[in-house]
Structure 1
Amino acid sequence: MIALPFAKSGSQSFLRGDRVHLRAPVGGDYKAWAALRAESRAFLTPWEPLWNEDDLERGAFRLRIRRYQEEAQSGTGYPFFVFRNSDSRLLGGITLGNIRRGVAQCGQIGYWCGVPFAGQGYMTEAIGLVIPFAFEQLRLHRLEAACIPHNKRSTRLLEKAGFQREGLLRSYLKINGLWQDHLLYSLIENDRRSTTNNKGAR
């Protein structure tokens, strides 16, 4: 099990790229998180499970943080918030979750981006930071992601990150109150090595 050091307010970020940095959520993120989620509700709800009535309340956020901590401590999930380097503005979130060890050595990636920041490449960079974390630090062999077929923004994001489409999962997840089909995407450790080697040979 890899222990992810859950950040305290003011501590250094855990994963850093050129434009964004990722760190574990903390209680002090509540106001920024609630404001961004509220502003982005219409943008996000077609692609997410139904929100609870108290979803944006502080108490629900505390429970969310507690669950995140439990997942990280057990090694089954590593949630991150995504922040812009230039001003530390919260942009969205990305989670490496449902980690299975044993013969699987697999995890699933999920993500969301606030509506003011969508389509600007921030989430592409965030996924690019999580992938080496998953393969090099957690020693996973396979990453999966699933998205609704007509979510073209999400399919483009995954394909740009190197994920390959494997097939259709029928009635896979209950999203926005309806059981919906999803496309299954995967990235294998060897896929990433081949891509890196091909780039180096150019």
Structure 2
Amino acid sequence: MSAGYGASHVAEPRRLGWPVRLGPLVVPAGTVRLRPLRLRDGSDWSRIRLRDQEYLERWEPNQPGTWRERNAASAWPSQWSTLRRLAKQGQCFPFAITVDDVFAGQLTIGNVIRAALRSAWIGYWVSSELAGGGVATAAVALATDHAFTEGRLHRLEATVRPENVASLRVLGKAGYRREGLFRRYLEVQGEWRDHLCYALTAEETGDGVVALLVASGGASMPEQR
């Protein structure tokens, strides 16, 4: 084992790239922005997630309690405070996704590791009413560019069930590449499910993921609309 990872190093600031607002980016569903989560997002968050149980639950890892208990408005303050604390410690970037300035979903860059690794994972969900409108792809593009610039990360990865075609399409449009298959990786709906691992490094993004998305016609800047 190399001693390099555990070697002493100059400490980086704990909150690189946070808090921040990102966007706008225009897609068929509307104008997408990312901003820090707020305590007052709880009612919108709960309403969407309770309504979209069937749409979301089949992809999300098992957690204690029922879906209704975990996604009730009363459950939001503790989740929000945990994410806020981790963000202050530099361990995650927890974003609200908005479309036309209305709460529409959530994106988190989590498990941020600095030093020689400088990596994290990225996860997201969007309201079913906006499915297919380019919202998740725009959100991933905005967050990825930020992570690799102001966030000073080098690698992002995402794990997705092979059956989740929509999410795989999002990652592909954002330039992520498939690296492998994790067998029985996460427990979802009571069974251990295989997940595909997709990843992207800073060197692979060229002029940026947003620029790639705009060039492909998948999004536009407001002044270009």
TM norm structure 2: 0.79
CA distance in 1 between partners of 2:115 and 2:157 (Å): 16
The answer to whether the 8 Å contact 1:2/1:137 transfers is no
Would you say 1:192 and 2:199 are equivalent positions?
no
1:8 alignment partner in structure 2: none
1:17 alignment partner in structure 2: 24
Larger radius of gyration: 2
Kindly tell me the number of residue pairs found equivalent between the two proteins. Answer: 189
Higher mean displacement: 16-25 or 67-76: 16-25
CA distance in 2 between partners of 1:28 and 1:194 (Å): 36
C-alpha displacement at 1:171, in angstroms?
A: 1.1
Matches within 5 A, 1:9-158: 14-18=21-25, 19-50=31-62, 52-53=65-66, 54-85=69-100, 88-158=101-171
Map Cα deviations across residues 70-98 of structure 1 (whole Å, 9 max, x no partner). Answer: 1101111111111112xx22211111001
Query: 2:180 pairs with 155, 158, 167, which one?
Result: 167
TM norm structure 1: 0.87
C-alpha displacement at 1:158, in angstroms?
A: 0.4
Identity %: 33
Larger relative contact order, structure 1 or 2 (CA cutoff 8 Å, min sep 6):
2
C-alpha displacement at 1:56, in angstroms?
A: 2.2
2:76 corresponds to which letter in structure 1?
F
1:44 corresponds to which letter in structure 2?
L
The answer to whether the 8 Å contact 1:94/1:109 transfers is yes
Root-mean-square deviation (Å): 1.8
Distance of aligned partners of 1:81 and 1:195 in 2 relative to their CA distance in 1, 3 Å threshold = closer
CA distance in 2 between partners of 1:91 and 1:195 (Å): 24
Map Cα deviations across residues 18-63 of structure 1 (whole Å, 9 max, x no partner). Answer: 2111111111111111111111110001000235332123332110
CA distance in 1 between partners of 2:207 and 2:74 (Å): 46
C-alpha displacement at 1:195, in angstroms?
A: 7.0
Query: 1:180 pairs with 193, 204, 212, which one?
Result: 193
